Structure 1
Amino acid sequence: MKRLLALTAFLATPALAEGELKVYHWFEYIPDDLVQKFEAETGIKVTIDTYDSNEAMLAALKAGKLGQYDVAVPGDYMVKIMANEGILDSFTPEELPNFGNIEPQWLDVPFDPGRKHSIPYQWGSTAFSVNRDVYKGDISSLSIIFDPPEELRGRINVLDSQGEVLTLGSIYLGIPQCTQDRDQLKALNDMLLAAKPHWASFGSDIAKDVLVSGDAAAGMIYNGFSAKARAEGANVEYAFPKEGYVVWMDNVVLLKDAPNRENALKFMNFLLDPENAAAVTNYAAYSAGVKGVEPFLAPEISGSPENNPPEGQKGFFIEACDEATQRLYDAIWTNLKK
């Protein structure tokens, strides 16, 4: 999907003078009016292309799209992979006047120590939601996805995302991420293949819609998508499973060979403004990594059950494996998607 967000008519001429910005972004993840605000403030014309998984984004950039875009929005583990592969440009804090607005816990992160390539965009969790009209039983375990009760079999959507599916599968089995143990890898592969017949679909961009429409009675989902499904009338409950769940942070990165580097930095700085960061949170129903957003947040977002896990529940970041280990996981994923 591709969309061109045009300037309002009275700023059409300045846009030509100020240039453009090319963004590679997740689907349904930034409000149009915020993009239009950036365009109005800067005179920069924004073009956004979208993708539906970290892996799809990386593959596209490596296949020839690098140099076509200025910024992208990868998840935490993917930032590290992209940096290791030389896909990212770097910047200094002085190039972003709002750099100091980054919350301290999101500043010196393991996937980008000191934030040399990226800034926080939004963070949240990935687990699953269940339609409570269909299933009223216990939903405290990842078994809902990987060994579902009879009421849910054949009515489950799973994210089309290798990182999240394999990580949640590993959490369910209690095995380390990036393991090289052949028995553990076989157990993961066998468990996923046994679960697959109970799944109706693989889809990230449809994860919310199939719950709202009733085409799925349960699904692996991002917490913000679950909140949106609930807001649209679906009687769904988001689970924080006892085994654990995925915690993630999406980040805006400066791409190598960005054709509009200065405009990219203006956009990144714009997104670090608390009011603008809150606008993304209010739209996407996740959480910002920026100080001072609270006064701008809608109460239904800051107080939503999807954004407030129960005490004692544990989240895990997806780990970036070394190249040899990653090939083993790639083989499991390829086998699962056959």
Structure 2
Amino acid sequence: MKRRGFTVLVGALLTFVLTMAAVYAPIPYVILKPGPTVDTLGKDKDAEVIQISGTDVSTSAGQLRLTTVGVQPEPNLVSAILGWFDGTEAVVPRELIYPPDETEEQVDKRNAEEFQNSQSSAEKAALHELGLPTLVTVVTVTADGPSVGKLQAGDVITAVDGEPVAAAPRLTELVRAKPAGTERALTVTRAGQTVTVAITTQEKDGQPRIGVEIDEKPPFQLDIKLDEIGGPSAGLMFTLGIIDKLKPEDLTGGKIIAGTGTIDADGNVGDIGGIPQKLVGAKRAGAVVFLVPAGNCAEAKQNAVDGLPMFKVATLDDALAALDALRAGRTPELC
């Protein structure tokens, strides 16, 4: 082979290699895709998603499916181009999902914490909606606080100086009713036994404290078991699932209902991200309607999926009213 031909061949090979390296090198974007959906009334990995024991539960003919967004964290140029032309995917700057000051592990940890918090809020919202009592339960005892050695995780606080405690805000109110440094008598249920514990409050942030983190728990066992899903957006569907299991009525009317949205203990539904991908995922799962947070309605309308009506919900009551209307053959408020 002549030297000129050899040079051209080597140049072509180098160009090809460099081009392939550029095409398949990671780029500063991520791809959002329709993620899996999960029936909160059903099972995940052979285990009930919402597990309730110690009280009566009901079964439903339909489904209440939470929706998720899948993230491809390190796409290359080829997959990004394909994603741009795929109507079910979105290519977005990486920093929108993974902030520059956080590692992927830190983001995953934060999402897991938000997911746990959404479960707690879902439990409270459901119990409040059903008018069921809650137990003010010690979650952790603050190190070096006044309750060390006196209270422990799992204790249920039922009274302060003889005044009944039926909710977390009432405990806070009673503790703050007297100045820091006051000895308070807390009535506690521990392992089925009632005990009285004397605790001298300490001042923190200008308020008397007993040095514990508390949560409101139901008077029965309620757990949500779901792996590999993060973030707070499943709150609404968890709440509806808990209510459906605790009420005799079938909220679904035998239909597959999908939705999304955060929820707080008062039943307010918050907007979320990934609506376009969640709508596609819901349709693929066989959903016949989709519950959309009011704050997401404009985006949802722009990304509507044929054959999937979208109902606007700003509160838990809105969501329950929409399901009531569906069962009665009426049309709820549309986005």
Q: TM-score range by the shorter chain?
A: under 0.3
Q: Which has the higher strand share?
A: 2
> Which has the larger share of helix?
1
Q: Flag the structure with more relative contact order, 1 or 2, with Cα contacts below 8 A and sequence separation at least 6.
A: 1
Q: Choose 1 or 2 for highest CA Rg.
A: 2
TM superposition score normalised by structure 2: 0.25
